Chain A
Amino acid sequence: MSVIAPNFKFSEFVKSILDNVFWILLIFVLIGLPAVFIILFYIEMPVINGELLTPFLALTWLADPSRTLPILKAFMTTDLFRIAAFPGFGFAALLAAGTIFIERKMLAKLQLRVGPFYCGKIEGILQLMGDGLKLISKEIIIPAKADKPIFWAAPIIFVATAAAFVALIPVAPGWVVADVDVGLLAVFAIIGFFPIITILSAWSSNSKFPFIGGIRALHQMVSFEIPLILSLLGVVILTGTLNLSEIVASQSNFPWIIFLPIGAIIFFITILAELERIPFDLPEAESEIVAGWLTEFSGMIYGLVQLGTYLKLYAFAALFVVLFLGGWSGPMIWPPFPEEIITDGIVMGPITAKIPGLPVFSQEMLNGVLWFVIKTVGVIFFILLPRGVFPRIRIDMLLSLGWYKLIGLAFVNIFIALGLLYAGVLGPGGIL
């Protein structure tokens, strides 16, 4: 007789498990398999090893390991993979999660604390997972007089907008979700959505502190968008294109930060303001207005807003890398894929495993991703660093900085770019 479950009978336990297995199998056979095949019939299937992958062969990768890699490679060329996994959302979310942990740990070290320590054996490395589980399991509390549709929709739209921003970033040659001709303009258009979402969510929670925070965020974002756009025009003038991939390709010899350091500095400061990071974190000033426009969020809604914020941070850092630091370009440091594995297969004593479809990624792509990630992590580090160093500044100082100094400096930057262009040094047809 158990104390926890007094009516427990082993035979009934086994019966319930068998019951569940029966129903799962029945539902899978009657509904699941037909659904999978209907979906597979409508998806355009790739050609693997010279034969078309029909839906009837679609699950053969489970039985035949030599078909796994080609099918995987064919899957990696699809739009779904690009949007959900590699240059898009999954990659960015991974970097964003890393950023959160590094930020907490680094800030603690700067302030002579230990930071996350107990969760996980080594230096609290599982803290993030614990926080995520906690946020998922917590109740979502909505204020009684809140405007519910906007309150629910705002965090989701925030994450969606941040993901749309991420989709425009080219990570390696040819590896970009949306390679549009007007990429930089699309970035400007997307940045314009953030203040709307912020102010709407702040208003919808029907509370004082979020509203003050939202108004501050609106002031700050709208006034720093102008120097942000102006500071990037120098790069556009010199490259003669708005496509982000072409802008990266134009920096194969030298990054633009060498010639446009003023623009890079202005862009960096405006990044800090757009991301509401210290010293410009007035919208979330926790010593004045609780948590600013995030005050009323709880549970996974708060988690979504945080995810969106850090996706945005990654996207802005990546944009800085793309525009000023040369994106994926860098010396080739990734070792080439060993030839004998492609020709002979992997030889382990008497066994030889020939794996068709190797290498999965080209050497250029891996090298490009490596350089891109190194540079992006460096920029993210410099975005995080002021949080441990600077105090918060006043709103009037912020606005005068944005409207007087940064816009003036941005025009100086544009004139430098124009001078370089008309002197024939850089730009289309320049000597360098």
Chain B
Amino acid sequence: MADAVFLALSVITIGSAIAALELRSLIYGSIALMGTLGGIAGFFLLLDSPFVAMFQLAVYVGSIAVLILFTVMLVKRELIFKKIEDKRRKFVGIALMLVFMVALGSVIMNSGIKTITTDEPAVDFRDIGADFLTYYWPALILMALILTGSVTGALILARREDVENEQRTD
């Protein structure tokens, strides 16, 4: 059962990733990108970590894909994208991808992943939270500062100076 689900998820993820690159229509491309991101969420579910899977869905499909879709819809495609199509570029790209995949795969295979016992119970997300607050607290503080900075920056960027004060009735 799990093997069949894994195979189906792999096909969905890789297939929609290829579709996201290759489709002519930008909208369908971004839908395919959503399929890829959702497939990765499915892998996390398969790995018994629903916490990460739900965040993957909420953040990547729910926010980032929406932003991409939004940008794609408000932009005229012909103005930014020039057709640079080249057989050689394509093959070089595929070769580069293969090299990267082989290198990453050999690194992962040599990293001791084979000795992991797989029948252990899933890690509770409360333990992840406790780890964040004790051992990894500098990373948490750093992330919090970065996020606060970006939210504040976004709020400042969203302020409009050209709107007259009389127009603001609230």
Contacts and interface: CB of A to CB of B under 8 A. Distances in A.
Interface of A: 147, 150, 180-182, 185-186, 188-189, 191-193, 195-196, 199-200, 203, 215, 218, 222, 225, 240, 242, 396-397, 400-401, 403-404
A150 B73 CA distance: 15
A189 B58 contact: yes
B55 A185 contact: yes
B31 A200 contact: yes
Contact of B61 (A186, A196, A218): A196
B158 A403 contact: yes
B54 interface: yes
Contacts of A400: 170
Interface in B62-98: 62-63, 65-66, 69-70, 73-74
Given A185-B51, A189-B57, A199-B73, A218 B66 contact: yes
Using C-beta atoms within 8 Å of the partner chain, give the interface range for chain B: 20 to 34
A192 B61 contact: yes
Contacts of B51: 182, 185
Interface of B: 27, 31, 34, 50-51, 54-55, 57-58, 61-63, 65-66, 69-70, 73-74, 125-126, 155, 158, 163, 168-170
* Chain B interface helix/strand/loop/mixed: helix
A186 B57 CA distance: 9
B61 A182 contact: no
Given A192-B61, A215-B73, 14 more contacts: A147-B27, A180-B50, A182-B54, A185-B55, A188-B62, A189-B62, A191-B62, A192-B62, A196-B62, A196-B65, A200-B69, A203-B27, A396-B168, A397-B170
Contacts, number: 70
B61 A193 contact: yes
A213 to B, nearest CB: 13
Nearest to B126: A240
A188 B54 contact: yes
B58 A185 contact: yes
Nearest to A400: B170
Contacts of B168: 396
Contacts of A397: 169-170
A306 to B, nearest CB: 23
Nearest to B154: A403
B69 A196 contact: yes
A403 B154 CA distance: 10
Contacts of A200: 27, 31, 69
A27 B22 CA distance: 48
Contacts of B155: 403-404
A380 B150 CA distance: 37
